[in-house]
Amino acid sequence: MPEAFTTHVLTITTGSSETVTDLTGECADFLRRRAAGRDGLLNIFVPHATAGVAVIETGAGSDDDLLAALHTLLPADDRWQHRHGSPGHGRDHVMPALVPPHATLPVIGGRLALGTWQSVCLVDTNKDNPDREVRLSFLG
């Protein structure tokens, strides 16, 4: 019988620009290997102070719209007290309050139960740190 709780760590390189990276395929691969057709929960966690997890539509402009909205809400300028790194980097440390560093999603029959247009995405506005870890944990 498969383990009731299992974790896998992804290493994602986001580069030197703000990104929304679709992780849905990696989540599905993990569940195929570890969920073994069971129902349960998938937790996605980003152990970084400047990245988050969003469940959004991708490929139709929503990912760019999310980054634009974050620029409007959290401008990359000198207003931030947290000042190390590239200009406006303090906003990157506030961003996870709006796009949290975690999501817990239902798994039915070993498959992620997302809506038709939903994708699981890593949101990274920190241009100074291109390497990210994403922890996938299945409980079922």
Say how many C-beta atoms besides its own lie within 10 A of residue 72's C-beta. 7
Distances (CA, A) of 103 to 41, 83, 99: 10, 28, 10
pTM of the model: 0.94
Both tokens of 30, joined, read 């993990």
**pLDDT recorded at residue 1:** 61
**pLDDT recorded at residue 112:** 97
What does the pLDDT average to over 53-80?
94
What does the pLDDT average to over 11-35?
96
Rounded Cα gap, residues 4 and 8, in angstroms: 14
Dump pLDDT digits (tens) for 34-65: 999 999 999 999 999 999 999 999 989 999 99
Say how many C-beta atoms besides its own lie within 10 A of residue 24's C-beta. 15
